[in-house]
């Protein structure tokens, strides 16, 4: 059986567990502390980062992009029609668009002051505006350009999950100005994949780390000022 080495609140890991869940591939998962990495992990992870996937042949793979590529090579594609060069290239571009925002979203959630929060939010909103513009021409599908889950949807799952938790606990709506993006996020969250791809303690750990009194969001300021119209921290710490 495949094995994933993970840290509880790392979005890069959730992308991989999401892909495994969507493909229906059995796997086991072991969680480590990134503040006290075991030697066996350092021996198999060249960059000392999660996720690491250990194959059934006991080969350790690192980097989420490489792991996702391996899973697509070894297991049925979520959307077989993507197995064409142009489609694969577009898929990689949109997956990259998501993954490059993981750390940006983490930094945004950890902003210590309103000024820093708004500065980081402006960057995110500029990126979300590009997605919203694309989705305007693709409003006839439940997910990203299709009515079945694909790799692009899975790549955006960590962003959508974290945005949903922030809204639940603070009232701040990250996609308030982007109705099509919000609908896409709602559709992905409605699948139940988010809960299946994280540890049972994920929400509590997430709130403790990102929504503590040390952050602008966690201090309660956003609950009293929910307008989001005004325009590097690790997320695996």
Q: What is the pLDDT of residues 52-108, one digit of tens each?
A: 999 999 999 999 999 999 999 999 999 987 767 777 888 899 999 999 999 999 999
How far apart CA 74 and CA 66 sit, in angstroms, is: 12
Q: What is the per-residue pLDDT for 229?
A: 34
Any idea what the CATH number is for the domain that residue 139 is in? 1.20.1050.10
The chain-wide mean pLDDT, for the chain, equals: 91
How far apart CA 28 and CA 3 sit, in angstroms, is: 5
Q: What are the pLDDT digits (tens) for 152-171?
A: 999 999 999 999 999 999 99
How far apart CA 26 and CA 163 sit, in angstroms, is: 27
Does residue 97 sit within a domain? yes
Predicted TM-score of the model (pTM): 0.90
Do 155 and 217 share a domain, yes or no? yes
Six token digits for residue 26: 């059995």
Average pLDDT of the residues in 169-185 = 97
In angstroms, what is the C-alpha Rg of the chain?
18
Does residue 234 sit within a domain? no
Domain range enclosing 31: 2-74
Residues 6+ positions from 192 with CB-CB distance below 8 Å? none
Does residue 54 sit within a domain? yes
Do 91 and 68 share a domain, yes or no? no
44 exposure class (CB count in 10 Å sphere: 0-12, 13-18, 19+): middle
How far apart CA 195 and CA 72 sit, in angstroms, is: 22
Do 199 and 99 share a domain, yes or no? yes
* Total domains in the fold of the chain: 2
Do 89 and 135 share a domain, yes or no? yes
Does residue 235 sit within a domain? no
Look at residues 27, 46, 74 and tell me which one is the last residue of a structural domain. 74
Angle between helices 85-109 and 114-135 (to 10 degrees): 160
Do 68 and 127 share a domain, yes or no? no
Q: Above 50 in pLDDT, residue 234?
A: no
């Amino acid at each position: 059986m495949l094995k994933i080495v993970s840290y509880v609140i790392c979005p890069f890991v959730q992308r991989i567990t999401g892909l495994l869940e969507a493909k229906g591939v059995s796997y086991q998962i072991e969680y480590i502390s990134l503040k006290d990495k075991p030697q066996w992990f350092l021996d198999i992870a060249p960059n000392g980062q999660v996720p690491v996937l250990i194959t059934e042949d006991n080969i350790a793979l690192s980097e989420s992009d490489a792991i996702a590529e391996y899973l697509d090579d070894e297991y049925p594609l979520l959307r077989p029609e993507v197995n064409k060069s142009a489609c694969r290239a577009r898929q990689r571009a949109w997956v990259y668009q998501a993954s490059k925002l993981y750390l940006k979203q983490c930094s945004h959630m950890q902003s210590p002051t309103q000024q820093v929060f708004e500065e980081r939010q402006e960057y995110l909103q500029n990126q979300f505006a590009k997605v919203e513009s694309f989705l305007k021409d693709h409003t006839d599908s439940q997910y990203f350009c299709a009515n079945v889950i694909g790799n692009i949807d899975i790549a955006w799952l960590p962003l959508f999950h974290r945005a949903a938790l922030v809204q639940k606990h603070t009232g701040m709506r990250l996609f308030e100005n982007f109705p099509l993006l919000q609908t896409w996020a709602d559709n992905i969250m409605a699948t139940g994949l988010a809960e299946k791809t994280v540890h049972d303690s994920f929400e509590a750990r997430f709130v403790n780390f990102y929504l503590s009194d040390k952050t602008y969001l966690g201090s309660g300021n956003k609950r009293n000022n929910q307008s989001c119209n005004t325009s590097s921290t690790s997320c695996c710490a």
